[in-house]
Amino acid sequence: MNNPHPAGLKDLVARQIPRRYRAEWLFEKAGLGALVVGLGFLAFFFYTLVMNGYTAFWQSRIALDVPLTAAVIDPDGTRDVDLIGQANYQGLLRDALRTRFPEVTARGELRSLFALLSPGASFELRDRVLTDPSVIGSAVEFWAVADDDVDMLIKGHSSRDVPESDRRLSDQQLAWIDALQADGAVEKRFNRAFFTSGDSRDPELAGIWSATVGSFFMLLVTLVLSFPLGVATAIYLEEFAARSRWTDLIEVNINNLAAVPSIVFGLLGLALFINLFGMPRSAPLVGGLVLSLMTLPVIIIASRAALTAVPPSIREAALGVGASKMQMVLHHVLPLAMPGMLTGAIIGMARALGESAPLLMIGMVAFIVDTPQSPVDPATALPVQVYLWADSPERAFVERTSAAILVLLVFLLLMNAVAVILRKRFEQRF
Amino acid sequence: MKRIINELTVQLRIAVFASMVFMAVGSAQAQSARDYISIVGSSTVYPFATVVAERFGRSSSFRTPTIESTGSGGGLKLFCSGVGVQYPDITNSSRRIRASELSDCTSNGIDEVVEVKIGYDGIVLANDKSAPVYDVTPADIYLALAKNVPAPDGSNAVVPNPYEFWSEINPDLPNARIEVLGPPPTSGTRDAFLELVMEPGCGAFAVIKALSGDARDAVCQEMREDGPFIEAGENDNLIVQKLQANPRSLGIFGFSFLDQNADKVRGSLVNGIEPTFDSIADGSYPVSRPLYFYVKGAHVDFIPGMREFLGEFMSEAATGEYGYLSDKGLIPLPDDERAAVETSVRELKPLTSADFSH
């Protein structure tokens, strides 16, 4: 047989080989470069979040010896919870401060002395007395929550080296704080309130609990509505519907719907659920309905993909031994497709958890202090809480914003981790 | 096959029924009385109204009001949609209600809209502490930031803004490139800035005095788009951070943000007056605007706690001269004005179209 290659071709290929290797090397390195750039941004994002946010998990407190005078708290000695709850705890805290700094007597000076403590300190003192009424009559050491300006100073977020007029704290207040610090009466302690309380305009009292509960109710409604509906739609389209122009049209529309900007769903929710059905504003029920609309296409697409991944042999075998079509789907196809469907659902839910734009229209971008008790109570969501804090003038909200983002990221990470674990554990390859 | 489809439709029917029950529960809840106050409106008033709401929720037996941050215009639109528990009771506004908005309210059956003026908010032009102090007039700011300005050669023409350095406008100003971060058009702060700075600044020029109507608005109210004026979003904290990162730039934002960040940024002097709590309160600092909220009179006796909430808002402890809102940066009303507002709130004196004649 003759040489099939013309003589010049071999040379040509030989000449091209180094160039091809070079191109391949460049291609690979470009991919790596893209990855490094992406990871770099991510690392920067996490770095700034953690550096800004970690301090919010601690809160400065000031130790005071508070005399829990029986005459103030429970004058009749009845230990009646209602009466004890209404006592003037702020007065007790102020007395304790005056005892600590007996030289302060002028009214204005007292005002700035009392400003070292957060308005929330008296509520904590009340709760402490209510949980253990036996302390009434004795003096206790009470670690009172410090005001946010004091907190920022202690954490080094605000500077003391600027003229007095440019500071939130006066020279005198700084001297008091220094004196307290010299006594070891100022300490940073774990900020439990951040996890257990609702929103507040005093940064030192603000927490993410009510927003977390709001997000939970919303996701619950979303899951209950969109998962069964999504799975049922996917099963119908994959297993029952004959391919026709109509199913093609539906498919295109579902794929389109998955890409619609989320604010549009908010507008739809406002028009449909609130204006037409008269549902309450700011309620997680409406939020959940809106997010269901948004999540449905994602779940349908993922569920259909999971169903197509089940090999036809399974279906044929089931039908072959006499199973009805419904038995085939419920007993054989669905169990095999479930991990994929759940993964899709969880990823859809994670996206819903991070959503804030559609909630603006239905009134969930709101100041909510009380923890919602049901899906129809007014509530807000975690990403909305982040947004509201980011817009607050008080400096102490800066670290709290970052801390709330960190908590939100932890939730998202957990959800995505569950999706990965489900897939790894239950996935079957054919 | 047919049987299966029948079974499926049964399931489908159940699903549809279940979701309808779900919705019915939701709307039944909505129709029952609401036991908390629902407030919407301006993001500028939001930080003040929330403080009052929180104190009110803590110190009274009523639930804490919910406050949505929707912007002044959006708030008034919601507020004027109708009477009933599904509509808000109060809307906050960083500008006065417009006559057209009030007539919207009236045509939707809201006869009693009570106006409550709560205090003042200053708008500042600030820069980083390390940069030189600016002492500007509204006319300087206008020349620096308007899209079209009177020709610098003194001829009777309006030309696209040629200024690039502050010193070109006024030799006393620093020889620095004009770079101002400000709010976007959707913001109430932007409206107030146009009204309080750009309008008076542009009115100072003879060329413009001859103009009127749309032609005048086009010259006075359009911000330049060629770079020196940068729309920095609604978030004032972000502007403060950007000023620190770039000491050559100035930023426009509310006084409460200057108050909180006085160790980092400094307010520019306007007409030689520094923006301070006192200078805004006595009116000598020219760039300040009143803040309002509007109450639906028909709701006052139906929503629990409305009267008490209004009482808390107008109390000495809240909006008084040394009230807790002044700690948050609200400039209180003078005593006599506050007393007048308090009386009209107590009597629930409704706004009428006559209030807009002046």
Q: What is the pLDDT of residues A183-196, one digit of tens each?
A: 999 999 999 999 99
Mean pLDDT of A350-379: 91
Give me the total of CB pairs closer than 8 Å, taking one residue from chain A and one from chain B: 131
Rounded CA gap, B318 and B292, in Å? 15
What pLDDT, on a 0 to 100 scale, did the predictor assign at position B10? 53
Interface membership of B263 toward A (CB under 8 Å): yes
Minimum mean pLDDT range among A29-33, B161-165, B327-331, B354-358:
B354-358
Mean pLDDT of A188-217: 93
Do A45 and A69 share a domain, yes or no?
Answer: no
Candidates A381, A71, A396, A382; CA nearest to A205 is: A396
Mean pLDDT of A311-318: 94
Name the residue of chain A whose CA is nearest to B239's CA.
A391
What are the CA-CA distances from residue B186 to residues A66, A367, B71 (Å)?
51, 21, 8
Q: Which residues of B touch A388 (CB under 8 A)?
A: 69
pLDDT category of residue B107 using cuts at 50, 70 and 90: very high
Interface membership of A63 toward B (CB under 8 Å): no
What pLDDT, on a 0 to 100 scale, did the predictor assign at position B335? 86
On whether residue B17 sits in a domain, the answer given is: no
Interface membership of B320 toward A (CB under 8 Å): no
pLDDT higher than 60, residue B11: no
Check residue A184 and give left, alpha or beta (phi > 0: left; psi -120 to 50: alpha): left
Q: Which of residues 132-171 of B touch A (CB under 8 A)?
A: none
What pLDDT, on a 0 to 100 scale, did the predictor assign at position B5? 47
> Which H/E stretch holds residue B68?
strand B66-68
Question: Of the spans A177-181, B127-131, B223-227, B334-338, which averages the highest pLDDT?
Answer: A177-181
How far is C-alpha A230 from the chain's CA centre?
A: 25
pLDDT category of residue A386 using cuts at 50, 70 and 90: very high
What pLDDT, on a 0 to 100 scale, did the predictor assign at position B32? 56
pLDDT higher than 80, residue B19: no
Check: CB of residue B92 under 8 Å from CB of residue B75: yes
Interface membership of B38 toward A (CB under 8 Å): yes
What pLDDT, on a 0 to 100 scale, did the predictor assign at position A2? 55
pLDDT higher than 70, residue A94: yes
CA distance B26 to chain A (A): 6
DSSP state of B331: B
On whether residue B86 sits in a domain, the answer given is: yes
pLDDT higher than 70, residue A381: yes
pLDDT higher than 80, residue B136: yes
Q: Are B260 and A388 an interchain contact pair (Cβ–Cβ within 8 Å)?
A: no
Rounded CA gap, A202 and B57, in Å? 14
Do A228 and A136 share a domain, yes or no?
Answer: no
Average pLDDT over chain B reads 84
Say what the pTM is: 0.83
**The token pair that represents A219 in the structure block:** 């996701």
What pLDDT, on a 0 to 100 scale, did the predictor assign at position A27? 96
Domain CATH code at residue B199? 3.40.190.10
What pLDDT, on a 0 to 100 scale, did the predictor assign at position A275? 85
Mean pLDDT of A30-51: 96
Do A39 and A62 share a domain, yes or no?
Answer: no
CA distance B98 to chain A (A): 23
Interface membership of B328 toward A (CB under 8 Å): yes
Rounded CA gap, A133 and A76, in Å? 14
Mean pLDDT of A350-364: 90
CA distance B215 to chain A (A): 36
Q: Are B50 and A367 an interchain contact pair (Cβ–Cβ within 8 Å)?
A: yes
On whether residue B146 sits in a domain, the answer given is: yes
- The boundaries of the domain holding residue A47 are 7-54
- Residue type (1 letter), B102: L
On whether residue A223 sits in a domain, the answer given is: yes
Interface membership of A167 toward B (CB under 8 Å): yes
Give chain A's domain count.
3
Give chain B's domain count.
2
Average pLDDT over chain A reads 90
Helix or strand or coil: residue B186?
Answer: coil
pLDDT higher than 60, residue B13: no
Rounded CA gap, A389 and A152, in Å? 16
Percentage of residues in chain B having pLDDT higher than 90: 26
pLDDT category of residue A249 using cuts at 50, 70 and 90: very high
How far is C-alpha A124 from the chain's CA centre?
A: 26
On whether residue A1 sits in a domain, the answer given is: no
Interface membership of A236 toward B (CB under 8 Å): yes
A20, A37, A54 - which closes a domain: A54
Rounded CA gap, B228 and B231, in Å? 10
Name the residue of chain A whose CA is nearest to B59's CA.
A86
- The boundaries of the domain holding residue B315 are 34-120+289-356
DSSP state of A237: I
B259, B288, B317 - which closes a domain: B288
pLDDT category of residue B79 using cuts at 50, 70 and 90: very high
pLDDT higher than 70, residue B2: no
